[in-house]
Amino acid sequence: MSRRRRPVPLPARDGVDATRIVPRVDALAVDALRAAPSLADLGDEAILARFADGEVVDGAGRPLRADDPVPARQPLWMYRDLPVETPVPFELTVLHLDDDIVVVDKPHFLATMPRGAHVSQTALVRLRRLLDDDAVSPAHRLDRLTAGVLLFTRRPEVRRPYQELFADRRVEKEYRALAPSPPDGLSLPCDVADRIEKTAGDLRARVVDGPVNARSRIEVLGPGPEVGTSLYRLLPLTGRTHQLRLHMARLGVPIVDDPLYPDVRPDLAALPDHGDFSRPLRLVAHRLAFDDPITGRRREFTSPR
């Protein structure tokens, strides 16, 4: 997240950034779009209409014609039609707002930023529309199923310092989770350390042999609101994909209503696609704390969940 972003030659439209297409080989502009996997659902008539409307541009913002040659690895930009999405029926709550950052309490089921079928139903697009500010950009990310504290920047010139806070692990993160009560033989608090890898196309992260790259501190806070459950305090010391979910499952206390760990549960995962948001993953990013890279002041934000 700390890499410098290249300028986008098209402004965001209704809070949604233009789509970036990078041709793999030298080609005509129209063929570059036809070959793009992300545009597989866009018919030839719609692609040609984009050129006719001047909505396909090169990196300098120059409108391209369909028969213009474009070199490999030189990005093109265009606007896409928004997918039809099931509305997430929970509010995005603003916890803090100033000239540099905005901090929100993200609800479950709302992705941090557009990806695949989730575009308008994301925290980034909702926040841009709420503030009427297309400069808003995420400083880090939360999984779509995880709720809680999420920080965005409001000015391009401060984006990198805040992103580097997270990339350099200079942010204190605390999560809360609801899971089965500790079984006999599990002594808490405890530290979990292993190696986690996630490969493209695999929904789940997996523990593999090799040097440790994932560390978590797991504590139990007390009884949960449901019989046989407990409330846990989770402290990720690293930031691997699905780290806390996987570590809890490996301890024998998987987080309540996790559709992936310890086993894949397609029926549970599919509920939101049918408008059923009654069974969220019971994991919340409870607290963020850090020394502000711009002002030097100590900052701390807590989710009210």
Contact assessment for residue 63 and residue 7, using Cβ atoms and an 8 Å cutoff: no
Q: Which amino acid is at 31?
A: D
Nearest to 149 by CA among 171, 131, 167, 168: 171
Give the C-alpha distances (Å, rounded to integers) separating 168 from 1, 211, 228, 237: 10, 19, 38, 11
Consecutive H or E run containing 44: helix 44-52
Contact assessment for residue 105 and residue 147, using Cβ atoms and an 8 Å cutoff: yes
**Helix, strand or coil, per DSSP, at residue 302:** strand
Which of these is catalytic: 100, 133, 134, 143?
143
**Partners of 21 in the β-ladder:** 76
DSSP 37: G
Evaluate the CA torsion angle 135, 139, 142, 147 in order and state its sign: negative
Any long-range contacts for 31-35 (C-beta under 8 Å, 24+ apart)?
32/70, 32/76, 33/76, 33/78
DSSP E strands in the chain: the ranges are 19-21, 27-28, 56-57, 69-70, 76-78, 93-97, 101-106, 137-138, 147-153, 172-180, 190-197, 206-208, 214-223, 229-236, 283-291, 298-302
Active site residue 67: no
- The total number of residues shown for the chain amounts to 305
**Helix, strand or coil, per DSSP, at residue 214:** strand
Q: Which residues are catalytic?
A: 143
